[in-house]
């Protein structure tokens, strides 16, 4: 029996990269997984892999995490169909280069809306169900750029810095309700955003560890690969 047996895990950005690897790993540990993403075809690919490798049939919900109504509907549907929400992995992200001098306001807002507002909306939507159960595990994916910054990636870096602050705030607000909120920095992964790096599957054991923390476990912390 896996450590996530009988848990329901919602994974954003599940259509590729770390989200896809986490979906497979969480299901292999017994979780019922809910796949969120903007591209239905990519979610279908992940769903087929989850079913092939674990035998579990995930719930697919095409969702733009930056749109309030879509997030609310997705979370309500997940709860209605599965009866509980235990884990949220805020993984969806976009990275578009551009210096502060050249980046457009539209591009800035787009990156902030997906990388920071998305996790806020999803977390806000799942909190009532987690509070009711007095149990929840929220994992937010961050990056070293949150504190180092990097020329040409101001919007992405700023969003991740904001996400880290939001994580610590949520951890402080929700620990009394049995909800643990932590950050994970996987380092450079080989995904659609990076041509080189580690296989995302290498870091999923760390995510499982955060998703299965015991009551009273660490909250408001950051765990990095390696």
Under 8 Å CB-to-CB from 41, ≥6 apart: which residues? 15
Task: Return the C-alpha torsion angle 25, 126, 64, 59, nearest 10.
Answer: 50
Copy the structure tokens of residue 205.
């054991």
Whole-number Å distance between alpha carbons of 218 and 73: 30
Give the active site residue among 79, 153, 156, 184. 156
For the question of residue 156 being annotated catalytic, the response is: yes
Whole-number Å distance between alpha carbons of 137 and 12: 14
Residue 31 exposed, middle or buried by CB count within 10 Å (0-12, 13-18, 19+): buried
Beta-strand ranges (E) seen in the chain are 8-11, 32-37, 59-62, 87-90, 136-141, 179-185, 222-224
Confirm if 128 and 78 have CB atoms less than 8 A apart: no
Q: How many residues does the chain have?
A: 226
Q: At what angle do helices 118-133 and 154-174 cross, to 10 degrees?
A: 20
Neighbours of 85 (CB within 10 A): 24
Show which residues are catalytic: 156
């Amino acid at each position: 029996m896996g450590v996530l047996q009988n848990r329901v895990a919602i994974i954003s950005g599940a259509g590729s990269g770390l989200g896809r690897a986490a979906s497979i790993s969480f299901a292999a540990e017994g979780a019922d997984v809910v796949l969120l993403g903007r591209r239905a075809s990519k979610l279908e690919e992940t769903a087929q892999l989850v079913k092939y490798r674990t035998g579990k049939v995930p719930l697919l919900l095409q969702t733009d995490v930056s749109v309030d109504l879509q997030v609310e509907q997705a979370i309500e549907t997940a709860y209605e169909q599965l009866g509980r929400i235990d884990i949220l992995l805020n993984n969806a992200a976009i990275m578009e280069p551009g210096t502060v001098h050249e980046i457009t306001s539209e591009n800035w807002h787009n990156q902030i809306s997906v990388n920071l507002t998305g996790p806020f909306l999803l977390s806000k939507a799942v909190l009532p169900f987690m509070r009711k159960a007095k149990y929840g595990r929220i994992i937010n994916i961050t990056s070293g750029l949150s504190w180092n910054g990097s020329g040409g990636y101001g919007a992405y870096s700023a969003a991740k810095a904001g996400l880290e602050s939001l994580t610590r705030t949520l951890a402080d607000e929700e620990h009394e309700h049995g909800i643990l909120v932590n950050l994970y920095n996987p380092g450079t992964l080989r995904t659609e955003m990076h041509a080189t790096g580690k296989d995302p599957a290498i870091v999923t054991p760390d995510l499982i560890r955060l998703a299965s923390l015991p009551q009273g476990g660490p909250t408001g912390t950051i765990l990095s690969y390696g």
